[in-house]
């Protein structure tokens, strides 16, 4: 019985270090050869790193990549193993990512993807003079994979190779498994690899998933976050051929014909029973919450490894966002095998801090056995106010923002003094609404919550509380749940009767609504009228007028605060929406959003 052993490999890479990456590929290839692998598929950016940005269009860089690819082909020519991997090339005046085949010392370009539309027919390996154990192979792009079906491809092709970097997002791993099962159901095999561990986590954490599917079944899988390594599976060309024949015979069955040529408009309904989830950012299950936290931790782990630090500094207030960042840091340190004392939790109470949040900050740090220090800011702030001429009793934005900026300055100075990076705590909801102090809590070394909206942050902290409770850590679970139930507040104005004076949702509206607006606005480009209709179906507790009033605040703040997003620090995308200016959300800081506000005002007028 003749089988074909296929492997998908993901070595740990160093971004831009083609020499080291070539060595890692060679070492993995030799292990694969000992396992009698026939062909190994590596991710698109294994040699250089996929996230090298504009370097992939520089002639010198591409030339060095090609030289290392040739070296890899030469150094593995003694192996009875073919390697397929990607690298950036410049040809004919254009730059593109190409898949290449290294076999018996030869290096052959298989296909490319770039600004030109992908070709309908993929490049077949047998055209290059290589056929492996009667199994015909083709390298394809993501676009071509979406169009795969046995009736649209060459009858000779059995196996498709798909290597293209994708962001690691909750739920997508499950969706990719299902997609490959569907794509290969009728006599195809498909191998998919995404990206190697070691890619930049500046704005996204890249998937490290690999899958091998045949005839609608997943034969092997490398799951998200598993680190470097490879998987392999034995494909059966006979089963593929017979499944294809069975599919094609079904295509020849007689079809029911109709004689009518009448055209009809589809009956769209203006009313429907469909509803929309109140919290669209929340994953469907706990697996999705776990994946979200994993993305955050993987992003931070890569950033710490890249700069060579074992310490992070976090300003903890006892509030939701800083608590989530603290939990992510803890997961990261566990992943890296580091002691928790490298997590430095700094409480910096000032004029608006309540006893409740100060107490929760202390309990959290001590329950987790972290390095904890408390620095009271009132005295230094009074000196600062005198220096800048802020009068006693002034409660303007200058009074509020000075506290946030002082906290940020202290954290960066501590990180400089003792080493480490400042962990950002700001979340996606605050970034969208500009509810952060520019060059205050808006700034950090790395923002792990950058794509986590408030509604999702609450769910994540509650999930972690349940996890600690299952481990018997009841006190820590109680503190985390108390944090979740505490009203969201910047705590920059003095408490009233010992209670929090500033409750954010009383000022700008419920985060349930703002997150709902953001999801459909940023992800789908829905306009005000459609968002209103969606929200009206989702939220029985708010009238249309209340929804519109909050929607107006959303648009007003969103467009006025783009300048803060233009200067936001790096952070991983761990939800469907990211507002990073580096490719996720591009918008001029001085763009006028009046057209949105006018539409909302017209809708409000109609509700009178």
* E strand spans, 294-427: 312-315, 343-347, 371-374, 421-424
Averaging pLDDT over each range in 143-157, 182-196, 281-295, which range is the top one? 281-295
Considering just the CA atoms, what is the radius of gyration of the chain in Å? 28
pLDDT of residue 291: 94
> Token pair for residue 120?
């309908």
Query: Which tops the pLDDT comparison, 579 or 154?
Result: 579
426: pLDDT strictly greater than 80 = yes
How much of the chain, in percent, has pLDDT values that exceed 70?
A: 86
Query: Look-up: residue for tokens 């776990």?
Result: 290
pLDDT of residue 591: 87
* Backbone dihedral angles phi then psi of residue 288, each to the nearest 5 degrees: -65, -40
Q: What is the pLDDT of residues 186-219, one digit of tens each?
A: 788 889 999 999 998 988 899 899 999 988 899 9
pLDDT of residue 450: 96
Of 173, 160, 161, 162, the closest CA to residue 206 belongs to 173
For residues 572-591, average pLDDT: 91
Between helices 355-367 and 320-336, what is the axis angle to 10°?
10
pLDDT of residue 138: 63
pLDDT of residue 261: 44
Provide the 8-state DSSP code for 451: T
Position 42 confidence tier, pLDDT thresholds 50, 70, 90: very high
pLDDT of residue 254: 44
Query: Which tops the pLDDT comparison, 226 or 566?
Result: 566
pLDDT of residue 500: 67
496: pLDDT strictly greater than 80 = no
Query: Which tops the pLDDT comparison, 8 or 135?
Result: 8
For residues 398-418, average pLDDT: 95
pLDDT of residue 494: 73
Q: What is the pLDDT of residues 320-334, one digit of tens each?
A: 999 999 999 999 999
Query: Which tops the pLDDT comparison, 1 or 365?
Result: 365
**How would you list the strands of the sheet with 189-193, edge to edge?**
123-124, 136-140, 157-163, 189-193, 210-214, 217-222
pLDDT of residue 329: 97
Of 81, 86, 110, the closest CA to residue 4 belongs to 81
118: pLDDT strictly greater than 50 = no
Q: What is the pLDDT of residues 155-191, one digit of tens each?
A: 556 777 888 888 888 888 888 888 888 888 878 888 9
Of 449, 483, 177, the closest CA to residue 295 belongs to 449
37: pLDDT strictly greater than 60 = yes
491: pLDDT strictly greater than 80 = no
Query: Which tops the pLDDT comparison, 407 or 243?
Result: 407
pLDDT of residue 54: 80
User: Count of CB atoms within 10 A of residue 283's CB?
Assistant: 19
Beta partners for residue 499, in sequence order: 496
Burial of 435 (0-12, 13-18, 19+ CB in 10 A): buried
Supply the pTM of this predicted model.
Answer: 0.84
Tell me the DSSP string of 168-220: --TTHHHHHHHHHHHHTTTT-EEEEE---TT---SS-PBP--EEEEETTEEEE
Average pLDDT value for the chain: 86
The whole-angstrom separation of Cα 602 and Cα 586 is 27
For residues 363-387, average pLDDT: 92
For residues 535-556, average pLDDT: 95
Query: Which tops the pLDDT comparison, 112 or 446?
Result: 446
pLDDT of residue 253: 44
């Amino acid at each position: 019985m003749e089988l074909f052993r296929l492997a998908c490999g993901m070595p740990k890479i160093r971004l831009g270090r083609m020499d080291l990456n070539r060595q890692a590929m060679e070492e993995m290839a030799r292990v694969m050869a000992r396992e009698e692998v026939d062909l190994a598929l590596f991710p698109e950016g294994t040699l250089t790193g996929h996230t090298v940005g504009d370097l992939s269009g520089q002639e010198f860089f591409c030339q060095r990549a090609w030289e290392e690819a040739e070296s890899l082909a030469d150094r593995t020519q003694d192996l009875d193993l073919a390697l397929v991997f990607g690298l950036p090339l410049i040809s004919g005046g254009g730059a593109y990512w190409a898949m290449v085949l290294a076999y018996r010392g030869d290096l052959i370009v298989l296909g490319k993807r770039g600004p030109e539309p992908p070709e309908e027919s993929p490049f077949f390996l047998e055209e290059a003079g290589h056929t492996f154990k009667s199994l015909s192979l083709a390298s394809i792009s993501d676009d071509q994979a979406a169009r795969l079906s046995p009736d649209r491809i060459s009858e000779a092709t059995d196996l498709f190779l798909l290597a293209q970097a994708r962001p690691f997002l909750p739920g997508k791993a499950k969706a990719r498994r299902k997609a490959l099962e569907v794509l290969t159901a009728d006599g195809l095999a498909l191998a998919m690899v995404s990206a190697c561990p070691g890619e930049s986590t500046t704005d996204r954490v890249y998937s490290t998933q690999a899958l091998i599917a045949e005839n609608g079944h997943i034969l092997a899988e490398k799951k998200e976050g598993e680190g470097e390594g490879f998987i392999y599976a034995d494909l059966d060309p006979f089963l593929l051929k017979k499944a294809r024949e069975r599919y094609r015979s079904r295509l020849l069955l007689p079809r029911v014909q109709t004689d009518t040529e009448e055209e009809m408009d589809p009956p769209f309904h203006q009313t429907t029973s469909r509803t929309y989830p109140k919290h669209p950012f929340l994953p469907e299950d706990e697996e999705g919450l776990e994946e979200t936290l994993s993305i955050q931790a993987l992003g931070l782990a890569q950033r710490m490894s890249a700069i060579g630090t074992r310490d992070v500094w976090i300003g903890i207030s006892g509030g939701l966002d800083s608590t989530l960042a603290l939990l992510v840091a803890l997961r990261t340190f566990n992943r890296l095998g580091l002691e928790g004392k490298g997590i430095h939790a700094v409480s910096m109470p000032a004029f608006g801090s309540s006893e409740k949040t100060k107490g929760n900050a202390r309990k959290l740090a001590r329950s987790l056995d972290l390095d904890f220090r408390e620095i009271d800011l009132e005295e230094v702030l009074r000196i600062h106010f005198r220096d800048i001429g802020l009068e006693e009793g002034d409660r303007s934005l200058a009074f509020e923002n000075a506290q946030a900026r002082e906290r940020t300055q202290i954290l960066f100075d501590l990180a400089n003094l003792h080493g480490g990076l400042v962990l950002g705590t700001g979340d996606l909801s605050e970034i969208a609404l500009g509810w952060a102090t520019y060059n205050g809590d808006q700034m950090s070394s790395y923002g792990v919550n950058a794509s986590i909206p408030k509604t999702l942050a609450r769910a994540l902290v509650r999930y972690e509380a349940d996890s600690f409770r299952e481990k018997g850590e009841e006190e820590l679970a109680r503190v985390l749940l108390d944090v979740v139930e505490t009203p969201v507040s910047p705590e920059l104005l003095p408490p009233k009767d010992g209670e929090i004076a500033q409750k954010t949702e009383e000022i700008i509206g419920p985060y349930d609504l703002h997150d709902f607006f953001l999801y459909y606005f940023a992800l789908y480009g829905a306009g005000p009228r459609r968002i209103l209709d969606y929200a009206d179906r989702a939220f029985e507790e708010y009238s249309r007028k209340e929804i519109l009033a909050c929607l107006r605040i959303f648009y007003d703040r969103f467009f006025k605060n783009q300048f803060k997003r233009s200067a936001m620090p790096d952070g991983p995308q761990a939800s469907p929406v990211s507002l990073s200016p580096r490719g996720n959300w591009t918008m001029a800081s001085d763009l006028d959003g009046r057209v949105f506000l006018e539409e909302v005002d017209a809708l409000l007028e109609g509700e009178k």
